[in-house]
Amino acid sequence: MKRLVTVIFAVGSAACLHTPPPHPRAVEASDLCAEYLGAGDLTTAEVQCDLALQFAPQFADAWVNKGLIAMKRGQEDNAKECFIKALRYNQEHAGAYNDLGFIYYKNHQYGKAHDNFQRALKVNPDFNEARYNLALTFMGLKDFDKAKKEFRTVIAVNAALADPYAMLGKIAHDESALEDAELQLRKAVELDPKFTDAWLELGNVLAEAGRAAEAKDAYEACVESDPNKAECRRNIAVVNKSAKLQEESLKNIKDAKEGKRDAPNEFAMARTYRDKGLRNDEKRAYFRCLKFDSKFAPCHFGLFEIFKDDRDDKQAKTACQNFLKFAEGSEFPKEVETCERFVSANTY
């Protein structure tokens, strides 16, 4: 399951009690429709589906395949009508529920998407694609606990799928559980070494953990899997710079021990205190840093983070404004974006 959301080619679904069994030629034509659809030949697929419906106008499978053809062509309204017709003729058609739910999911109509994926699973609890899509829908609804439960169920049914591990890693990253995020994402790329988005997310997790060299390896694997993934190329440059800054920080710490004091040195000391959880010492080091150099942007950002955590929005805003005044955007792109959003949100 390489794609984040997928749709199925429906064939061979059981008919509703009130719908007459399809003509054998309808079944044959519908099967051919699905084959051509899978091969990407939409014109021939549509010819076969229309033929199937001439033999059996109430054949739900053929209506589902017609809907999938419409989706491939970007005709969502037409696709929706086809899936609804399929369900009118067979209320136990799990594929139709899943595909209809997919349209609602794409349009952020998460309530309707949820209901259709649930109906698909009621028909067939082993329908892993519908369960995966339901988990994505829970993510859209910000119900991450339910999303995690469904992704784990997908894995329980088929542990060879990479996508649910990648999504569990994304949720863990969003929840700042970096160790768990790394574990899940490494499993995803182990199962699918060409999983570009999983490599990118893994690189982001490792970079946030301060492991620049490993982050660079992940970003390079991302580029190898998709040379056109510009974000991975940009992030390689960022972590290279980060690794250089780490080396400079170590030098600054050594200089501090030898009695050499300056703004970069105090910033490095502040980060050391931060890693040890010594919040007050970290804060004092930022203030000492700015005494040496009032324009040293990283120390303004460090104070912003502390004030923000303390919910002191007034001082946090001032620190951000000072940071933006002195920071070079190309050097601190993420920090600049963070401060711009914060200042904008706290301007009345």
Secondary structure of 170-191 in HEC code, one letter for each residue: HHHHHCCCHHHHHHHHHHHHHH
pLDDT in tens, 176-228: 999 999 999 999 999 999 999 999 999 999 988 888 889 999 999 999 999 99
Predicted local confidence at residue 6, as pLDDT: 41
Architecture in CATH for domain 1-150: Alpha Horseshoe (1.25)
Which sign does the torsion angle of CA 313, 319, 324, 330 carry?
negative
φ, ψ of residue 177 to 5 degrees: the values are: -95, 75
Same fold, 1-150 and 162-252: yes
Predicted local confidence at residue 260, as pLDDT: 60
pLDDT in tens, 267-280: 988 998 888 888 88
Domain locations in the chain? 1-150, 162-252, 261-345
Tell me the pLDDT band of 51, cut-offs 50, 70 and 90.
very high
Question: What's the fold here for domain 162-252?
Answer: 1.25.40
pLDDT reading at 3 higher than 60:
no
pLDDT in tens, 320-339: 999 999 987 678 888 999 99
Task: Tell me the average pLDDT across 151-164.
Answer: 95
Question: What's the fold here for domain 261-345?
Answer: 1.25.40
Nearest to residue 336, comparing CAs of 298, 281, 310?
Answer: 298
pLDDT in tens, 62-99: 999 999 999 999 999 999 999 999 999 999 999 999 99
pLDDT reading at 300 higher than 50:
yes
Q: Which of 54-63, 243-252, 256-265, 279-288 has the highest mean pLDDT?
A: 54-63
